[in-house]
Amino acid sequence: MSTSLKIALLGTGLMGAPMARRLLGAGFPLTVWNRSIEKAEALKADGAKVAVSAAEAVSEADFAITMLDNGAVVTEVLFGLGVAEALPKGSVLIDMSSIPPSVARDHAARLAKEGRFHLDAPVSGGTVGAAAGTLAIMAGGPEDVFKRAQPVFAPMGRAIRVGPSGAGQISKLANQTIVGITIGAVAEALLLAERGGADPKAVREAIRGGFAESRILEVHGKRMVDREFIPGARSTTQIKDLETILATAREIGFEMPLSKEVYARYLDLRDRLGGGDLDHAALFLQLDNPPT
């Protein structure tokens, strides 16, 4: 299938690169940019055009997608590197990064003043979901703009509009709350099995399909029993998400004791055990080796 819609994708790292390949596979003309240009150059073989600047990448785009590290980086790229000005009037900026809801709302308002549209559309599903096109996409923004973006979302996963600007980021925070706490629960349970004399690999298989079943038990539970923590999503990313969760909770006056506990343990994994660049399932290692 081919389409006349032109897309730009800014940020071709662990998540952005497979997302780009999904869009190319669907027939979209795609221009990519990355601060480390070699990561963007790797997509040439798949049919992508590589831009030397972020502003150049979006200059002819109907839709521009950002998949960047954090809110500060997204703000810099949009308003410091000239992307907001270079976007054609009437085009749509789809920010698929995970950033604070307040920052997403600010970006939407600033772009709207200049005649550009904005959707905050963070994702869940990791690198596996990005490569398979099965990402869960949580979108915030105007309903008519969301409908316009459906053909762009379709190759990457299942998109649901969850509310106005900023709501996509709130939804992602809810997702990451469940992910972080559930990783801790699965790790603690498998360690209980091991310390109690059972085979944790067999225990994981035995409880699958019951009420404890989850993608965390399926995917991260296997990482834990294999003690293999090559990153799909890094622990540093989980820390960043938990910091945003807790900051947002403070803003709205909501107490989150479980998230606070998990956050403290991720910090210990990073700072004491040097596990920041391991997969976030490596929280298992912190629970297995707590501070003395």
Q: What is the pLDDT of residues 65-117, one digit of tens each?
A: 999 989 999 999 999 999 999 999 999 999 999 999 999 999 999 999 999 99
All domains in the chain, ordered by first residue: 7-163 (3.40.50.720), 170-288 (1.10.1040.10)
Residue 250 exposed, middle or buried by CB count within 10 Å (0-12, 13-18, 19+): exposed
The whole-number average pLDDT for the span 244-270 is 96
Q: Sorting pLDDT into bands at 50, 70 and 90, what band is 219?
A: very high
User: How confident is the model over 38-75, as pLDDT tens digits?
Assistant: 999 999 999 999 999 999 999 999 999 999 989 999 99
Query: To which residue do tokens 């991260």 refer?
Result: 220
Q: Is residue 209 scored above 60 in pLDDT?
A: yes
Give the per-residue pLDDT at 17: 97
Give the per-residue pLDDT at 258: 98
Q: Is residue 3 scored above 90 in pLDDT?
A: no
Q: Which residues are catalytic?
A: 172
Give the per-residue pLDDT at 88: 97
Give the per-residue pLDDT at 148: 97
Task: Kindly report the average pLDDT of the chain as a whole number.
Answer: 96
| Pairwise pLDDT comparison (27 vs 126), residue with the higher score | 27
Query: To which residue do tokens 């997403």 refer?
Result: 104
Q: Sorting pLDDT into bands at 50, 70 and 90, what band is 4?
A: confident
Percent over 90 (pLDDT), the chain: 93
Q: What is the DSSP string of 192-236?
A: HHHHTTS-HHHHHHHHTTSTT--HIIIIIHHHHHHT----SSBHH
What are the residues whose beta carbons fall under 8 Å from the beta carbon of 38, sequence distance 6 or more? Answer: none
The whole-number average pLDDT for the span 109-129 is 94
Distance CA 75, CA 71 (A): 6
Q: Is residue 203 scored above 70 in pLDDT?
A: yes
Q: Sorting pLDDT into bands at 50, 70 and 90, what band is 232?
A: confident
Q: Is residue 267 scored above 70 in pLDDT?
A: yes
